[in-house]
Structure 1
Amino acid sequence: MNVHTPRHPSLYEVNARVLLRRLARKAGRRLTLDDIPDSRLARLAGCGFSWVYLMGAWETGEAGRRVSGSNEQWLRGYRDVLPDLQEEDICGSPFAVCGYSLHPDLGDPEALVRFRERLHKEGLLLMLDFVPNHTAPDHPWVRDHPDYYIRDTDRNLAHGRDPYSGGWPDTLQLDYGSPALQDAMIVELQTIAGQCDGLRCDMAMLVLPEVFRRTWGREMEPFWPRAIDSVRNEHPGFLFMAEVYWDLEWTLQEQGFDYTYDKRLYDRLRNGTARPVRDHLRADSEYQDKSARFLENHDEDRAAAVFPPEQHRAAAVLAFLAPGLRFFHEGQFSGRQKKTPVHLCREPEEPADPAIEEFYRQLVACLRLPPFRGGEWRLLDCNPAWEGNPSHDGYIAFAREREGERYIVAVNYAPDRGQCYVPLPWADLAGKAVRLRDLIGQAACERDGEGLLSPGLYLDIPGWGRHVFEVAAEEG
């Protein structure tokens, strides 16, 4: 494999079971990973993606599916999305894993090998799931190694859970206080690592010693540093991304994860106030580089349903043009509004939103530019346009630069029109005429370099307004 990834890569999540069901309906026959067209993969590569996260690839069992199909609360949620719900639409949670081999519905075991090879030919890498906290109720270990699991007060095998929930009834909780279990999970990881290029580790913080102790009252030795080192000894460069919450992102980065979910940024963007977002972007550069930025994924509601249209666009500019890994979800580019529960393998029909499609086309074009893939990033000051005008506090601006290519990203992340000055950070603009061209809008102008340095670029834009300015200087 010889696939180069940029410093700030982009990832595209696709639900494997939903995608193949959709394609099969159009084809009128059963399809496997082999039938995903090369043209679809080429389009993703052409958009500048580095990773395809194939969610739901692993084998699940009938026990988990029965729970998924009998839980009344879950069933009500399914029917909200699919009023015409059929039994065959319920395939069970892909996170109730009973074996790390390709699910038979997706093809024979070698279909995953072939799919990965096709991705590599397009310059794409494959990410799959690892579920460390629990297994399906019909995992072979339940029969062969019941000592790998935690028992409840009635001596029954306990359901997987976190410290704040009542548990997931389609799972059984693994006992990380058992050295034998930890060794067995590392063997599983090593096996999985031979089938892909990186892993999204589901609820990775649940197997941190302090969280495990709080949940189960049991001590355990640290798992992640040893597990990650073990995999990388055999597969150098293998990538680990953690689904993590509760301000434990930095803890997992220190334990070896390449990327951690940035749920904090998502929550602050959703809240719609600029200052907390701006403060978040002041974090250490290493933390920023290892943050996975998203506006939706299979756990979160659809961005088009959560954010009003203009705020959606403003939030996307901030989340995806900042440093870190850019995490996109299939359907996001077309403005889908209905979140499909992971227990289902059919999604509702929804028309595409041409306006949001055009916005994301422009945004993805920006992400293909070298400064946004690996250039230097710096947060910029947004100063008052005049005394007594507080609207500058709604602005967030930053610069991207690489090998002489320069861009300014500026967003009025507030509902009302605002004004500010943004001093540009390049002293060599003095004495030059500077052309500014917006890559996501129609704005274009020419300014004197001295004025752009002090008092700065003057901005007067409506609520949720945004610019991505190409900055080109020439001798004045």
Structure 2
Amino acid sequence: MKPLPPKPLLYEINTAIWLEELSHKTGKKITLSTIPEEEWDRLRNFGFHMVWLMGVWKRSPMGTQIALQNTGLTKEFQQVLPDYTPSDVIGSPYCVQAYQVDDRFGGKEGILKARNALHARGMKLILDFVPNHIAPGHTWTEHHPEYFVQGTENHLRKFPDAYIRIGKHIFARGKALNFPAWQDVVQLNACHPGLRKAMIETLVEIGNLCDGLRVDMAMLMLNSIFQHTWRTHGIIPPEKDFWEEVIPAVKKEHPHLFFMAEAYWDTEPVLLEQGFDACYDKRLYDYLRDRSPKLIRQQLSRSSDFQNHLVCFIENHDEKRAITAFPYNQWKLAALVTASTPGTFMLHEGQLEGRSTRIPVFLGRRPEENTSQEVAEFYTRLLALLERTELSGTFQLLPSPHPVLCGWRWQFQNQSLVFWCNPTRRVAYLKDDIVPLYNPFWAEGFVPQGNKQGHYAFQPFGFAVWEMS
């Protein structure tokens, strides 16, 4: 396999829903072993370098029952699926019963065939790993209770939503800092040496099936955060952080395994230092959504070397659909920014067609939706631009001629691409002696200002791209 390009494209697919819809389309049961060749070709033709098959592992029957008893979740399921029935709930892919590919998706044979199909088309396979918690029915709860954060009878009596009895033991439910506990999972003890060893062994096995990992809530395993979350349980962290110990050990067996962290709370620098290859850039998402040009420029002013290790997105399974989170034409600008600045560009299945309904990960199907020709044509043009240029030159943030504008340049050997955009609801007026306003080869919301020659306006969420020799 060739190494990843400077600006990789990552595509997230909800495996359960993808296979369900392919089965419906073809009129026969489709698993990862029997994906039609034209479906793999379709992914290649988009120009993706990595495909993240989200949710392939065995899910917990106990976790599914807990989800079905949650009235808040049931209400959400009913809102998404007007004809909802309990059989639509297949459990959370982040409530992992075992790191074995679910038989209903094709098992180990299926994932290896999927990986081979991707490799034959020059794409890498990414799978999930959930380090912070695991399903209550996992074998470790019976055979290795020491791997978990445990509680007392008093904990269970006072905080029944935060603890659960399994067999002879009381375990803490999984959680993140001071947020409410996740009801369907139990909390692993990141500081326990036996757990770390077992995690390394698990990751080495997973590494035999894929090319990279999307690590769920990776920052929760940092000593500082873990100790703060569980400070009342008397857990003393070891000298080495979890990832400092785990990632090098796994990379001894799989030196090219790609580690991508779901990361928040400004933990990206420390996670990259501890061995991750890439981290989510949630700050850029937030600043684009909040229409803050000053903070967007601040985010893009960081060194290119650092930004190259970030994963930029405007949609994934945790967030609202892009055309909902970024209304009107804001989604176009947000997509252009995340696609044309340094770092991996992550897209979510359904984003390219303009789907608007966010599907809870517990569900095995989704409602039919009308797709958008406008959205499809926009992404076709955007992905063609990325394929043509690969954005392999030098990135430079440009001084802004107006408080609401953001601009940057990619300098290649014999040419450059210049981008300007207005991420706000205000109109920005400019003269052509300030920025290269002549002949942008792609522009929306960038128009002449009345009869004033050489004066232009960037409308709200307008953008323009120039190709210069």
TM-score, length basis structure 2 = 0.90
**What letter is aligned with 1:219?**
I
Instruction: Choose 462-471 or 296-305, whichever is displaced more.
Output: 462-471
Find the counterpart in structure 2 of residue 44 from structure 1: 43
Alignment check: 8 A CA contact 1:397 1:422 kept: no
- Which residues of 2 match residues 153-192 of structure 1 at below 5 A? 153-154=152-153, 156-192=170-206
1:471 aligns with 2:468: yes
Q: Secondary structure at the match of 1:192?
A: helix
1:365 aligns with 2:384: yes
How far does residue 437 in structure 1 lie from its aligned partner after superposition? 4.0
Indicate the percent of aligned positions where both proteins have the same amino acid. Answer: 36
Alignment check: 8 A CA contact 1:130 1:201 kept: yes
Find the counterpart in structure 1 of residue 158 from structure 2: none
Find the counterpart in structure 2 of residue 219 from structure 1: 236
Find the counterpart in structure 2 of residue 106 from structure 1: 105
Q: Secondary structure at the match of 1:156?
A: strand
The structure-2 alpha-carbon separation of the partners of 1:245 and 1:423, relative to structure 1 and needing over 3 Å to count, comes to farther
Find the counterpart in structure 2 of residue 387 from structure 1: none
- Which residues of 2 match residues 30-429 of structure 1 at below 5 A? 30-154=29-153, 156-217=170-231, 218-221=235-238, 222-372=241-391, 374-383=392-401, 392-420=402-430
The structure-2 alpha-carbon separation of the partners of 1:232 and 1:101, relative to structure 1 and needing over 3 Å to count, comes to same
How far does residue 421 in structure 1 lie from its aligned partner after superposition? 6.0
How far does residue 436 in structure 1 lie from its aligned partner after superposition? 4.1
CA distance in 1, matches of 2:246, 2:455: 51
1:7 aligns with 2:6: yes
CA distance in 2, matches of 1:85, 1:31: 22
Find the counterpart in structure 2 of residue 454 from structure 1: none
Find the counterpart in structure 2 of residue 452 from structure 1: none
Q: Secondary structure at the match of 1:368?
A: helix
- Which residues of 2 match residues 439-450 of structure 1 at below 5 A? 439=442
Q: Secondary structure at the match of 1:157?
A: strand
How far does residue 234 in structure 1 lie from its aligned partner after superposition? 1.5
**What letter is aligned with 2:420?**
A
Superimposed CA distance per residue, residues 249-268 of structure 1 (whole angstroms, 9 cap, x where no aligned partner): 11111111111111111111
CA distance in 1, matches of 2:50, 2:26: 27
Q: Secondary structure at the match of 1:150?
A: coil
CA distance in 1, matches of 2:418, 2:432: 10
CA distance in 2, matches of 1:304, 1:444: 24
Q: Secondary structure at the match of 1:314?
A: helix
**What letter is aligned with 2:141?**
V
Q: Secondary structure at the match of 1:326?
A: strand
How far does residue 444 in structure 1 lie from its aligned partner after superposition? 12
Find the counterpart in structure 2 of residue 438 from structure 1: 441
**What letter is aligned with 1:69?**
L
Alignment check: 8 A CA contact 1:4 1:123 kept: no
Alignment check: 8 A CA contact 1:381 1:422 kept: no
The structure-2 alpha-carbon separation of the partners of 1:422 and 1:128, relative to structure 1 and needing over 3 Å to count, comes to farther
Superimposed CA distance per residue, residues 385-406 of structure 1 (whole angstroms, 9 cap, x where no aligned partner): xxxxxxx111111111223231
The structure-2 alpha-carbon separation of the partners of 1:442 and 1:382, relative to structure 1 and needing over 3 Å to count, comes to closer
Alignment check: 8 A CA contact 1:399 1:408 kept: yes
Superimposed CA distance per residue, residues 21-68 of structure 1 (whole angstroms, 9 cap, x where no aligned partner): 111122333220123222222222222210000000111121111112
CA distance in 1, matches of 2:386, 2:140: 44
TM-score, length basis structure 1 = 0.89
Q: Secondary structure at the match of 1:100?
A: strand
Superimposed CA distance per residue, residues 269-326 of structure 1 (whole angstroms, 9 cap, x where no aligned partner): 0001211111111112222111110101000111111111211111111111110000
What is the CA RMSD across the aligned residues, in angstroms? 2.1
CA distance in 2, matches of 1:14, 1:169: 25
Structure 1 unmatched runs, 5+: 384-391, 446-456
Alignment check: 8 A CA contact 1:398 1:410 kept: yes
Alignment check: 8 A CA contact 2:259 2:276 kept: yes
Structure 2 unmatched runs, 5+: 154-168, 449-453
